[in-house]
Chain A
Amino acid sequence: MKALSLRNLRKTYNNGFEALKGIDLDVEAGDFFALLGPNGAGKSSAIGIISSLVNPTSGSVSVFGHNLKTEREKAKSCIGLVPQEINFNQFDTVKAIVFNQAGYYGMPRKLALQRTEYCLKQMDLWDKRDSVSRRLSGGMKRRVMIARAMVHAPKLLILDEPTAGVDIEIRRAMWKLMKEVNEQGTTIILTTHYLEEAESLCRNIAIIDQGKIVENTDMASLLARLNLDHFVLDLAESVTAMPHLQGYHVEQISGKVLNVAVPKEAGLNQLFNQLSAQNIKVMSMKNKTNRLEQLFMDLIESKPVSANP
């Protein structure tokens, strides 16, 4: 079952800007799907059309088999949206925001109250239910938007940069929450600029650039195409000359810091053998860049995925 199907979706704005140039996309039910792309690539236009905030120029959107144009109410009932920016009434209480949303979905009062309580408890916001929303912290406001999007138990949850601007502790807590929601059967589409987030949460991925889908595959296959990892090595002692490491590209950042590009087929053992042979002691090591970030940059810069350093 397809949770979402886009066919030849196009969007040209009144000023002539062509945001979407005929995209096709399928998301399977139960998936945790990443929709990535640089700013202005067309992500927000696509999300806006799917969630009825933007009118498409042409093409079709189908949500769990319901065409958004001909079966509008059924299609909309399947969707929950967590937008990029805070968009609730800042003068309403937390409970009123979530409860009213249940009302918009036609939920009877008793059930709406139960669902409101359930979602606020799940988001750890029940104690704040009577607080005026503008007094909440940034992280809490984000969680209010997730509770609001979840109140009608949508089958498809769209998270448009849900962790933008929140600190790492809240971000990790939200990742855990998103995983739990997905494990309970909700299909999730995530857009984010934190590629580490997409890499750790999502099973499938599409990358959109200049209004076109430039990549659409599963995360594992995409990452497997990256044949070069970059590592930063912290050395115990300074080296005066840059060490020669056969099969590896080395760059000296400072006396005690080396940047090493490691081809997948070469591996790390050979690297450490060579370093030991030259009496260079490594104290610690870390990935220079996130793996997906490297692929992402390659794809939107139209370079081969396995580009050399």
Chain B
Amino acid sequence: MIDIVRSEWTKIRSVRSTVWTLAVTALLMVGISVLLGVAITNSGETVGSQEAIATSLAGTVFASLSIATFGVLVVSGEYRTGSIRTTFMAVPKRLRVLIGKVVVFTPVALVVCTVSSFAAYLLGGQLILGTTSLGDPGALQAIFGSGLYLTAGGLFGLALGALVRHTPGAIVSAIALMLILPQLTSMLPGQWGATVHSYFTTNAGMEVVQPGQNAMLGPWSGYAVYLAWVAVTLIVAAVLMRRRDA
């Protein structure tokens, strides 16, 4: 298994799309935080430290799409070029390929996303409050939560890439599942509608970044629900990857 991880590491570090998608993710996190910070400063409003945390990490919503794109490309890039056949010839036990990709992707995404979240909070908070302290209540949880949330979104993209095998299709389904459908579920009627809304992908996951928005889930239970979505998608993708012709 260590051989496969080594091989996947070589693959991920040797294409430009890795650098691009990670750079865009960091830029969205920091850039949106700075823009909002400048806007608030100019407006002369005074904001509390809780609001400052939420505002400085507002880029998370958009950054989750670029990190998901990175995840998609890690798998779909091989299908697009046909090099997936070389990969499966080298490792015919295909589940190991998928595990190898997850093992390499997760720490890379986690480090980049967590560092970006720290930078976004420190820069944005500085602009908004004139001072930032990592000791502010909830600050650390929101920052690490943002890193974890984004990493899960990246893995969601990776799973969708393996499931759909087609770059545009996988990116569109990521946008639908992470951005559009979570909004639409708010229109579902009744108690079950409310439950679906609370448990739906990013509605549950965002609780770890911005607690208190979800009626039914706390930060960690919400994050666990989001991870369950990712895990189920990965399992379905793994089963199909084994069964389908390459």
Bound together:
no
Contact surface of A with B, Cβ cutoff 8 Å: none
